[in-house]
Structures are given as structure tokens and as C-alpha cells.
Amino acid sequence: GKHWTVNEVRALIRIWSDKNIQQQLEGTVRNKRIFEQVAARLQKFGIDRDWKQCRTKYKNLKHEYKSVKSAQDSGSTSKTMKFFNELDAILGHCTMEQASKSDN
């Protein structure tokens, strides 16, 4: 698919930071319906992405965030990413215990 622009990622993160969306995402693995909502909201910003693209981007961002976070936790400051602070505001409150609970 076409590359996500900074604005598109910002918009995705803005929607993702919605408490309602977060709660839905934390509570489920089968999340196609949630990402359909996310895609619909992106459309309102004039961003044309389907739910699969949104989910993939979400997963990639989350994965990247986690690897940067764990690098930092182990004392490495060399690893960084563009939207770390924004994602930390969303994901930082999730303890690992919470994260593993939502994996089952």
C-alpha cells in the first residue's frame, strides 16, 4: 500500500487516543469492526485508508513503540521513533500485566 504520511499517522494516533477506541481495542482481538470505525473517522479528515491498512499501521506502531520502550527500560537511549511521546501517552499507562491479559 502507499506510504503513510506524517499527517496520516498523526490523525490515526489522534483517533487511537480516544478512550472509547482504546477500551475497545484493549478488550478484543477480533477488531475488524473497530478498525472500520477508525477508517471511517480518518475519511472525515480526508484520509483514504481501509481498515486493514489502519490495523497494520496500528500493529506496526505498537510493535515499534514496545521495542523502543523496552530498549529504554534496559538503559539504551539510542533507539527512538518519531511518534514515541504520542504513543507513550496512550500506551504508557498500560502495564505489562494489562498487556499480557489482553493477549489471551
Q: What confidence score (pLDDT) does residue 1 get?
A: 60
Answer whether residue 88 shows pLDDT above 70: yes
Report the pLDDT value the prediction gives residue 76, as an integer from 0 to 100: 85
In whole angstroms, give the CA distance from residue 61 to residue 46: 21
What is the average per-residue pLDDT within 70-79?
88
pLDDT of residue 94: 58
Percent of the chain with pLDDT over 90: 70
pTM, two decimals, is 0.82
What are the two backbone dihedrals, phi and then psi, of residue 100, each rounded to the nearest 5 degrees? Answer: -70, -30
pLDDT at 93 over 80: no
pLDDT of residue 17: 93
| DSSP letter string, 26-88 | HT-S--HHHHHHHHHHHHHTT----HHHHHHHHHHHHHHHHHHHHHHHTT--S---TTHHHHH
Q: What is the pLDDT of residues 27-70, one digit of tens each?
A: 777 899 999 999 999 999 999 999 999 999 999 999 999 999 99
Name residue 58's amino acid.
Answer: Y
